[in-house]
Structure 1
Amino acid sequence: MAQHNETGKQGEAEAVRYLREKGYEILSHNYRYKHAEIDLIAKKGQLLVFAEVKTRSNLNYGNPEEFVSYTKAKLVMRAAEAYIFATDWMHDVRFDIIAVTLSGSQLNVKHIEDAFC
């Protein structure tokens, strides 16, 4: 498997660990709807969180969160709408970015709540 795929998998695993530590229940990994994918869907109380995870091994080209494009955000929102409808969710929702930086032995997780809507 390509190195960037391994980095992404490791970043998602760190994001799951982070969210669980913060009291979130992970409902789904890599939820797909047509051409869209949501990395993580989590729940905390009556709040449903759709999280886009971006992982980088260095910051040479910018912070991970800077790589969530307008197009990607729209795709995530479209998939979230399908998930909400399929599960008949009737409470609050939020769209977050979890930016993970893995550099040598250094690990940094940055949780950006309400990143887009």
Structure 2
Amino acid sequence: MSEKDELGRWGEDHAAAFLARAGYTIVERNWRCQQGEIDIVANDGRDTVFVEVKTRSGLGFGHPLEAITSAKLSRLRRLARAWCEANAQDGVPARRRSIRIDAISVIRRAGAAPVVEHLQQVY
């Protein structure tokens, strides 16, 4: 696994733990379909939450959340729809719950605790 992939996995682990501590139920991680991947699917009360996680080892290339462009948000909306369709029961899409797209940034700095920032409903 490349160093970048390891950093991404590390960030996703911290993001999932952060959500769990905040009372979210993690439904799936790294859900994939032909259109792409959703980092984390979680339940927050009545909401199904699709979470994009961005991790950096510093701010030299900008804040992690700056990497979430309008094109990325459009793709995340398509992926959320695909997840709902794939998780349909008896032909009824899994949209009985409200859905939202959140973003989490994780910054890893040497010798310090990770900095986690959670933005709800980013679109």
**Shared fold per TM-score greater than 0.5:** yes
Please report how far the alpha carbon of residue 82 of structure 1 lies from its aligned counterpart in structure 2 after TM superposition.
Answer: 1.3
Between the two proteins, what is the percent identity of the paired residues? 34
Gaps of 5+ in 1: none
Deviation at 1:32, TM superposition (A): 1.4
Q: How does 1:48-67 map to 2 (within 5 A)?
A: 48-67=48-67
User: TM-score, normalising length from structure 1?
Assistant: 0.93
Letter in 1 for 2:41: I
Query: Could you tell me how far 1:63 is from its partner in structure 2?
Result: 0.4
Q: Is the 8 A contact 1:37 1:75 kept in 2?
A: no
Q: 5 Å matches for 1:15-94? A: 15-87=15-87, 88-94=94-100
Aligned CA RMSD, in angstroms, stands at 1.1
C-alpha distance in 2 between matches for 1:91 and 1:28: 16
Shift of 1:34: 1.3
Q: Are 2:117 and 1:110 aligned? A: yes
Using the size of structure 2 for normalisation, the TM-score is 0.89
- The residue aligned with 2:14 is 14
Unaligned runs of 5+ in 2: 88-93
Structure in which a larger fraction of residues adopt strand: 1
Following superposition, the deviation at residue 103 of structure 1 comes to: 0.8
Computing the radius of gyration from Cα coordinates, the structure with the larger value is 2
Q: Partner residue of 1:97?
A: 103
Deviations 1:48-78 (A, max 9, x none): 1000000000101110000012222111111
Structure 1 counterpart of 2:100, one-letter code: R
Give the total of aligned pairs: 116
How many Å separate the matches in 1 of 2:75 and 2:15?
20
Q: Which 4+ residue blocks in structure 1 deviate beyond 2 angstroms?
A: 85-89
